[in-house]
Amino acid sequence: MKKRILFTAAALVCAANLTAQCLGVGSSTSSMSPEEMAAAAKAGVEYVEIGISGRGTVAEIREKALHAKRMADEAGLKVWSCHLPFSRKLDISVLNDSARMANLEFLTEMIAICGEVGPEKLVLHPSSEPIADGEREQRIRNSIASIGILRREAARIGAQLCIEDLPRTCLGRNSAELLRIIAPYPEVKICFDTNHLLSEDLLHFVEACGDRIATVHVSDYDMVDERHWLPGKGRIDWPALYGALMKAGYKGVFMYELKRGEGDNPTIGIVLCSDTDEDIAKYSVLHGNEQLFASKYKLYLPTEEELRAEIETQKEMFYLQHDQNK
């Protein structure tokens, strides 16, 4: 486990050196308190994604979103993205046209609220589930038509609409289908969720989607179903995945989207940045404090000094391989 996390960390910094910029690291605000946001900012996290709740009146939803924005501002965090609400009922691909138009009207109001928050990206699900094989083609056409409407609303607030890949029977469960859904709209991009691909290799997905990927939800899984585990706990080959993203020209934020079950340890992220003179590696304790970090994770995670040493080793290996491939 320790070596896996070290290697993941090193891959991040090597990727940052390739693009000569800092890697943005963020976290979803869905369950973060003001104290947790402040702790994340202190640790080096720069960005947040604000989840827009679909429950309550429009006024209540607006107040929740603005409250999250105020917390982020107070913590010194920038809003990278807003995740539009979704549910089985709130589905832009539903077969009933009256229901679909009502959903689009509601989502238009949600996008207007996002405009007050000021994100760079808007994340949207192309469907809910389950979707039967016999209705899939029509659901795809409905989703395409709906995105055509919502992209204009996103443009009104100066945000880029990003359609997320989804698991199981949802629409957008592989690169071919997702690219088909956004094909009519060059300005619409992809939110790549590393946890949602169940029928396609992640590296193939990145290669196929290329520069259409505009934001990334980061978490690990067993490749059987979505798990949203901390990177290193599942089966994703993180060095290979980050390398593929850099090759595809990805320059956005790596947004940690992690779930905690009852009894799970707090979520942490490794915050990495490559400046011109120095590589920086440190821990972001997103759901706890330094004392808890020391007691819960000390036996499993490398020190910051070990991270830096491993980063240097992996950088040397990376540049050696890079020179050989020229």
Q: What is the pLDDT of residues 65-77, one digit of tens each?
A: 999 999 989 989 8
- Please, which pLDDT band fits residue 283 given cuts at 50, 70 and 90? very low
For the residues 93-103, what does the mean pLDDT come to? 98
CA-to-CA dists, residue 156 to 111, 150, 159, 186, angstroms: 9, 10, 8, 16
Q: What is the pLDDT of residues 150-189, one digit of tens each?
A: 999 999 999 999 999 999 999 999 999 999 999 999 999 9
Instruction: Give the predicted TM-score (pTM) of the model.
Output: 0.78
Q: Is the predicted pLDDT of residue 270 greater than 90, yes or no? A: no
Taking Cα atoms as reference points, which of 238, 294, 288, 236 lies closest to residue 264?
288
Concatenating the DSSP letter of every residue in 96-162 gives -HHHHHHHHHHHHHHHHHHHHH--SEEEE-S--S---GGGHHHHHHHHHHHHHHHHHHHHHTT-EEE
- Please, which pLDDT band fits residue 15 given cuts at 50, 70 and 90? very low
3-state secondary structure of 79: strand
Q: Is the predicted pLDDT of residue 275 greater than 70, yes or no? A: no
- Which residues, 6+ apart, have CB-to-CB distance to 306 below 8 Å? 6
pLDDT recorded at residue 118:
97
For the chain, list the domains and their CATH numbers: 2-324 (3.20.20.150)
Concatenating the DSSP letter of every residue in 16-30 gives HHHHTSPPEEEEE-T
In whole angstroms, give the CA distance from residue 305 to residue 61.
Answer: 44
Q: Give the chain's mean pLDDT.
A: 79
Q: What is the pLDDT of residues 42-67, one digit of tens each?
A: 766 788 889 898 889 999 999 999 99
Q: Is the predicted pLDDT of residue 145 greater than 80, yes or no? A: yes
pLDDT recorded at residue 38:
81
161: exposed, middle or buried (Cβ count in 10 Å: 0-12, 13-18, 19+): buried
Which position has the token pair 């790549």? 192
